[in-house]
Chain A
């Protein structure tokens, strides 16, 4: 089945610096890709959903890059601020038998220091 590896597990940056989180996946038939943000003690909040036909998506303060050839998905927080401190999870969707299954990366704990 699908395997998703997320790196790094922990990341600490200074305010204003960029932070890059990367996921690699194994199933070439994966077609939807997600980034979720989880603040301490809270639930998962959807940041962005990327379709297989789209390579770059820009959100508020971040960019998502999808490289289907390398089976790599990345999240780049362009100018991190303390409010970005959270855990980030990538998730990859693919058909598994009879349903669309989400496989999650293990997460990246990001700390943004003032």
Chain B
């Protein structure tokens, strides 16, 4: 089973501050994803990546950037955090052509 880790697990940020959420996977999966989870919405895709150096916009990319510096690492960046970005963020990974996604433990972000 894929091992996906996220850091930090909890984060409190101030409005207008920069936040970076990190994700690491050790199963050499090509694809990585960032979702946010809000009550009543399930999981919504923010950004995804096919491999090192690639990032693509998902369904709700506004206010977020992503970075994939290596096969193992995928970061989500909030340049100017807003209270509406308070949420739980999940990273996932999966192999190209294999639809199953394996999720990390999540990061709970509170923007004050």
Contacts and interface: CB of A to CB of B under 8 A. Distances in A.
Contacts of A99: 31, 48, 50, 56
A34 B100 contact: yes
A105 B43 CA distance: 8
Given A44-B90, A106-B40, A101 B103 contact: no
Interface in B91-106: 97, 99-106
Contacts of A60: none
A104 interface: yes
A73 to B, nearest CB: 14
A43 B101 contact: no
A101 B45 contact: yes
Given A42-B105, A43-B90, A43-B104, A106 B99 contact: no
Interface band, chain B: 20 to 34
A100 B56 CA distance: 13
A46 B102 contact: yes
A42 B88 CA distance: 11
Contact of B99 (A9, A102, A104): A102
A4 B41 CA distance: 11
A102 B90 contact: no
Contact of A44 (B40, B41, B59, B103): B103
A104 B43 contact: yes
A107 B39 CA distance: 9
Contacts of B43: 44, 89, 91, 104
B35 to A, nearest CB: 8
B42 A107 contact: yes
B67 to A, nearest CB: 18
A36 B92 CA distance: 13
Interface string B51-70: 00000100100000000000
Contacts of A91: 43
Contacts of A42: 105-106
A107 B37 CA distance: 10
Going nearest first, the 8 A-B pairs with the smallest beta carbon separation are A104-B42, A93-B99, A32-B99, A44-B103, A106-B42, A104-B43, A43-B103, A43-B105
